[in-house]
Chains A and B, each alone.
Chain A
Amino acid sequence: MKTKTPAPPSRARSTLGWWYTATGKARERKMWGTIIGIGGALLFPVINSALGLGWEAKVIPIALFIVLALGLNVVVGFAGLLDLGYAAFFAIGAYTMAFLTSTVSPIPFVREGNHVNFFLAMFVSAAVAALFGVLLGAPTLRLRGDYLAIVTLGFGEIVPLVIKNTPEVTKGTQGMNPIGYPEIPGLQFAVDPIPWYYLIVAVLMLSVLITARLRTSRVGRAWAAMREDEVAAASMGVNLVTTKLFAFALGASFSGFAGSIWASYLQVIAPEQFDFSVSIFVLCMIILGGLGNIGGVIAGGLMLGFVDRILFDWINGFVHGLGAAIGNQDLRLMDVSRSRQLIFGIALVVMMLVRPEGLFPSARLRAELHAAEEDEGTVAQERAILVDVER
């Protein structure tokens, strides 16, 4: 197969924007996607109040979960390390924030009212989460695939359990409350969701920028090489240890970042908020959208978030209304969101069967997943030839 190798992007271009790495139509699509994405995100509050949707409280968690998904995408999508305990880092970030800013913090200095500035605490939370990412990553370096998934799953279970079992430090199941707010003169984070929205959108855009730039960077290419074939990557001079650890640390720090904001936004955190279903929910986002593709991950996150936080409310309202109209008590009191997990479960299976590469896959993953089909095709061909020969 002969392909024209594209000219290497000039220095100025490569620092300008990540969509320059694509060519032709793809670049155009990426550019418009970026513009529409940024524009939509910035204008959303205006549209929201103009149409009277009242979605601001729903969109903030969705945006935050997309940050989580972007971080997980680095670990799973870029580096190919299946992490099923991602919520643990989310919890670590949230509790670090609580420790640094809450009046019920176990640190006496903080408890006496000297709470740390929110933005400083945010970065500390991310750093602590990254540290735990390395701590978990280091011993699992030799593991691959399923075993790694199980170790991370175990870790993801241990963290909430430890939080639950150490009430002296973390207040256990009672949860920690209140947690410090961000302080920017003129903005009222305590009562107004709009500053929150913009804060999270800023973090989200920063995350997109960082992950997009990383993907095509030296370390990003090292991740891709490692994901495809560890042995080959190592023999080409990729340092597997630092490459893996960096993926873990970076993924964890995104999670810690999101966790710290989440804690301050919700004002109360308890261990149940960080269980296995959170890890799976985030994983669903990136699988639905398309592993490894940033635009896809955002789209997947938006879709799942929309279904989870907005559509279910509508269906619930509809079912209750229907129940009231036809006088069916069961229908009127039925809680559709109870079957949320059921729908996610079915969606996961169907997705894997029908379109395992996600709705908007990265080109590389699509090629990989369809290679198997081609294999099958050639086997069938060979078989047909054999049959011919026998005749």
Chain B
Amino acid sequence: MIGITNGAFIALIALGYTLVYGIIELINFAHGDLFMLGTFVCLSTLTLLGFSTEVGTSGTPWLALLLAMIAAMIFCGVLNVLAERIAYRPLRRAPRLAPLISAIGVSFVFVNIGLFWQGPTPQRFPDLLPQYDFVSQLLGFTSLIRFTFKDLFVLALAIPLMLGLAWVIRSTRMGKAMRAVAQDSEMAQQMGIDVNRVIAFTFLLGGVLAGAASLMYGLYNNNTVFTLGFTAGLKAFTAAVLGGIGNVNGAALGGFVLGLLSALTVTYAGGQWENVGVFSLLVIILVFKPTGLLGQETGEKA
């Protein structure tokens, strides 16, 4: 179960990658670090509201969690839009290497903001959710497979968010514009679509999802550190590629598959091999099926 739950927030981050890639074909290197900053915002908000320590039996401060999540979503969304405005938009017509390197630079800046903000040591994230294992409590036996309240919490948040995203893309005016820009931005511009606004909106969406994922990550794993973003970002990128980059459903699927795979690696090969497994998977997919599970042939793109 830990695999599926981990997969849920990987999927949320992966959606951010895939949205941006789908629309401007940029690997947003800084996205993982944005997520890391999101966990810090959650932590700071919770501390500010007085929930920095364990609550124990006194119940879960739902309102505080909601506020923390909204804070992180706004923060990540706005920061992502700002990054796009400052570091990527001026480079839209430049060769593809330029925005990629610019994104690496932004990622460095984010990591250092994190470092100055919370210091180099891992920070404890308050454990605010009830400890409740549905499998052992309801079915009356303990096994390797657990389904705790935390898992339920993450899934109950992540799945509606993904469905919401799907709805935005499929049914709103903005979603339609996004799809048009992704297909052919020049043509979309001719049709009267404000391409810059659509791209900014895409970054906003990606950031908001990363912000939501950051609260879930914090509450689920109860720690955060400034280097978190790099591995989280790579994992999410792997998931996005696994599902077929640029494909929104694929990213969600890829996230869950990757979560399961990494959980299996941890169980059968040991925790220190987890990232080796993930990166090997990334290399293998890119080499043998660069279009991913649900991707379509995109010609010269890859």
Determine if chain A interacts with chain B.
yes
Interface, chain A (partner B; CB < 8 A): 82, 139-140, 142-147, 149-151, 153-155, 157-158, 161-162, 164-165, 276, 280, 283, 287, 338-339, 341-342, 344-349, 351-353, 356, 368-369, 372, 375-376
Residues of B within 8 A of A165 (CB): 272-273, 276
Does B98 have its Cβ within 8 Å of any Cβ on chain A? yes
Q: Does B302 contact A (CB under 8 A)?
A: yes
Q: For residue B89, which residue of chain A has the nearest CB?
A: A353
> 28 A-B Cβ contacts within 8 A?
A82-B97, A139-B283, A143-B290, A146-B96, A146-B302, A154-B234, A154-B282, A154-B286, A155-B283, A157-B279, A158-B279, A158-B283, A161-B272, A165-B276, A287-B101, A338-B115, A341-B108, A342-B109, A342-B112, A345-B112, A346-B105, A346-B109, A348-B101, A348-B108, A349-B105, A352-B99, A352-B101, A372-B95
Nearest chain B residue, comparing its CB with the CB of A231: B300
Q: Are A344 and B95 in touch, CB under 8 angstroms? A: no
Q: A345-B108, A368-B95 are in contact. List 10 more A-B contacts (CB 8 A).
A: A139-B287, A140-B286, A143-B286, A145-B96, A146-B100, A150-B237, A345-B105, A349-B109, A352-B102, A352-B105
What residue in chain B is nearest A339 (Cβ atoms)? B112
* A-facing residues in B280-302 (Cβ within 8 Å): 280, 282-283, 286-287, 290, 300, 302
Interface size on B, residues (CB 8 A): 45
Binding site for A on B (CB under 8 A): 25, 27, 86-87, 90-91, 93-102, 104-113, 115-116, 230, 234, 237, 241, 272-273, 275-276, 279-280, 282-283, 286-287, 290, 300, 302
Q: In the complex, A356 Cα to B99 Cα: how many Å?
A: 10
CA distance A328 to B110 in the complex (A): 28
CB pair A348–B105 under 8 Å, yes or no, is yes
Min distance, Cβ A149 to any Cβ of chain B, angstroms: 7
Tell whether A352 pairs with B91 under 8 Å between CB atoms, given A149-B100, A157-B279, A345-B112: yes
A339 CB contacts on chain B under 8 angstroms:
112, 116
- Asked if A349 and B93 make an inter-chain contact with CB atoms under 8 angstroms apart, the answer reads no
The reply to whether A147 and B286 contact each other, CB–CB distance below 8 Å, is: yes
Q: How far is the CA of A356 from the CA of B273 in the complex (A)?
A: 38
Chain B residues, CB < 8 A from A345: 104-112
Q: How far apart sit A139 and B102, CA to CA, in the bound complex (Å)?
A: 28
CA gap between A157 and B104 in the complex, in Å:
16
Report the nearest B residue to A156, measured CB to CB: B279
Q: Is the pair B101, A150 in contact by a Cβ cutoff of 8 Å?
A: no
**What are the residues of chain A within 8 A of B95 when measuring CB–CB?**
356, 368-369, 372
In the A-B complex, list the 9 residue pairs whose CB atoms are closest, starting with the nearest: A345-B108, A348-B105, A342-B112, A349-B105, A345-B109, A154-B279, A352-B102, A139-B287, A345-B105
Q: Whose C-beta in chain A lies nearest to the C-beta of B83?
A: A349
**In the bound complex, how far is the Cα of B94 from the Cα of A380, in angstroms?**
17
Instruction: Please tell me which one of the listed residues B86, B94, B234, B276 contacts residue A349 in the complex, with CB atoms under 8 A apart.
Output: B86
Q: Which residues of B contact A344 (CB under 8 A)?
A: 105, 108
Partner of B27, one of A146, A157, A164, A349: A146
Choose from B87, B109, B237, B286 the contact partner of A353 (Cβ within 8 Å). Answer: B87
Contacts of B106 in A (CB 8 A): 345, 349
In the assembled complex, which residues on chain B have CB atoms less than 8 Å from the CB atom of A143? 286-287, 290, 302
Contact in complex: B287, A151 (CB < 8 Å): yes
Please measure, in the bound complex, the distance between the C-alpha atom of A346 and the C-alpha atom of B283, giving whole angstroms: 30
State A280–B108 Cα separation when bound (angstroms).
Answer: 10
Complex-state Cα separation, A151 to B273, whole angstroms: 18
